[in-house]
Amino acid sequence: MANDQSTKSVFTPVVVIFFLLVASLALVQGALDVFLAGSARAVRQWATIIAGALVGTSAYFVMYKKFQRVSDELSTRVSQGKSSEERLGILAHALESISEAVNITDAHERFIYANRAFEKLYGYTSDELLGKSIDIVRSARTTEEVTRVITPSALKGEWHGKLWNRRKDGTEFFISLSSTAVRDEKGHVIAMVGTASDITDDNREELRLRRLELALERSGEAILMTDVDGRIEYVNPAFEQLYGYSAAEVLGKNPRILKSGRMPEGFYTKFWITVLDKETFTGEWLNRTKQGSIITVEATINPILNASDMIIGYLGIQRDISERKRTAQQLQASLIEKNTLLREIYHRIKNNLNIVASVLGLQASAMADKERARPLEETRERILAMAQMHDALFNAGSSHAHTDEAISSSIKSLRTSRSTPTSPSRAG
């Protein structure tokens, strides 16, 4: 291009100088002829030469302008052709270099191009795909409702969505797909461009998180999550039901809104020492609901750690044990009452047995006939043995071992009292 312009710039003044030189020589020659000869013929020759020079010069300028215009058009076309080729080369290189899988299909959804990323992702070579239908990579797991709307939506502008695809080896994977239509100058569709990314791992993680979210939502235990500064970021429906607050009312708030003011001194200090040490804290809390009632909850607080083992939040799981505590308290009160009653019965029985034994002893001692007094003495011994058994059983409490030992000892005492003779004649 630069050489062409340089040639034109040199060629133009040379030609002009040449024609001016010819015209000058003709003028000089004509002037001499007129001066020397003074003839009419000489004047005519001079005029002819001058006219020829002027005509030639004019013709040159006309031809030069045409040549310059044609030359400029040719230069522009060559330059544009080179620029188009360069742009196409850059575009082709870019398509082959990007990590997304790109394919181009014709208006009938037959492959006409696939980049290296597409070949790597799907396992096909470009030669294997050329001319084949796009259905070769579609999975039966993708519903017809999805595949049916891809092309119509792309023709209207762009379609973007997620669907299952199939590799050459038959394995299926989840992709994010964008599809657009390519049109010519008249607006006719000449191709479809699809860009796909493998999001199988992302989809698995999304499903896992969805299951986790569903489990939290349906859990019967109250769950709340806070950030590292203690601001509530999430509560589940069980929390809303337990405390009477809606999620909107507590999000961004601190859990101290649940404080009852009835926790023992030092409780919260122990709690923070535990969780800040990245340990789980479990305990019973007295909390206050939105309505002002006090409830007892069994709570487990876990610090949430990131990949760098830094605390980024806290997870609290609470179970309302108010009813259980009330039942336990009622049972304890009932047991205390029953224990008081049993102790009263124990003392009465013991006293009554002792009284009966004492009366029998006094009666036996008062009788002069020892033979007649002997049955009273034996009865007294048995009653004393029963009192001893009664005392042992009461003091044994709920221990099976102590109870068995008391019963064995009492039975032994009863047998001893029955087998012991009260007089020599009785033994003989």
CA atoms within 13 A on the CB side of 209: 6
Q: How confident is the model at residue 68 (pLDDT cuts 50, 70, 90)?
A: low
Percent of the chain with pLDDT over 90: 39
CA–CA distance, 208 with 231 (Å, rounded to integer): 25
If one compares 38 and 185, the residue with the highest pLDDT of the two is 185
**271 Cβ neighbours under 8 A, 6+ residues apart:** 281, 283, 301
What SS3 class is residue 284? strand
Flag the least confident range among 74-78, 204-208, 264-268, 359-363.
74-78
pLDDT average, residue stretch 272-286: 95
Least confident of 149-153, 222-226, 400-404: 400-404
Of 62-66, 163-167, 244-248, 419-423, least confident by mean pLDDT is 419-423
pLDDT of 395 reads: 77
Closest C-alpha to 217, from 252, 257, 247, 256: 247
Confidence of residue 379 (pLDDT cuts 50, 70, 90): confident
Q: Are 201 and 174 in contact (CB under 8 A)?
A: no
Provide the pLDDT confidence category of residue 412 given band limits of 50, 70 and 90: low
- Cβ neighbourhood burial of 396 (10 Å; 0-12, 13-18, 19+): middle
C-alpha pair distances (Å), 252 with each of 61, 101, 216, 233, 409 = 85, 42, 19, 6, 69
* pLDDT confidence of residue 178: 92
Summary mean pLDDT of the chain: 80
The answer, yes or no, to whether residue 386 has pLDDT greater than 90, is: no
Asked if 23 contacts 57 with a C-beta cutoff of 8 angstroms, the reply is yes
Would you say residue 357 has pLDDT above 50? yes
Q: Please tell me the predicted confidence (pLDDT) of residue 10.
A: 44
Q: Residues 361-390: what's their mean pLDDT?
A: 83
- What residue type is 243 in one-letter code? Y
What pLDDT shows up at residue 175?
92
189, HSE (Cβ side, Cα atoms, 13 Å): 17
pTM above 0.85, yes or no: no
Residue 133 confidence (pLDDT) above 70: yes
Which pLDDT belongs to residue 328?
82
Say yes or no to pLDDT of 204 above 70. yes
Check if the beta carbon of residue 170 is closer than 8 Å to that of residue 188. no
At 201 the three-state DSSP class reads: helix
- Tell me what the mean pLDDT of segment 183-207 comes to: 86
pLDDT at 402: 56
3-state secondary structure of 314: strand
Q: Parallel, antiparallel, or unpaired: how do β-strands 232-235 and 281-288 relate? A: unpaired
Instruction: Give 69-125 pLDDT, tens digit per residue.
Output: 655 665 665 555 556 677 777 877 888 888 889 999 998 889 999 999 999 999 999
The amino acid occupying position 142 is T
Top mean-pLDDT range of 30-34, 41-45, 134-138, 361-365: 134-138
- Which one-letter DSSP state was computed for residue 206? H
**What pLDDT, on the 0 to 100 scale, is given for residue 81?**
52
Name the more confident of 65 and 16.
65
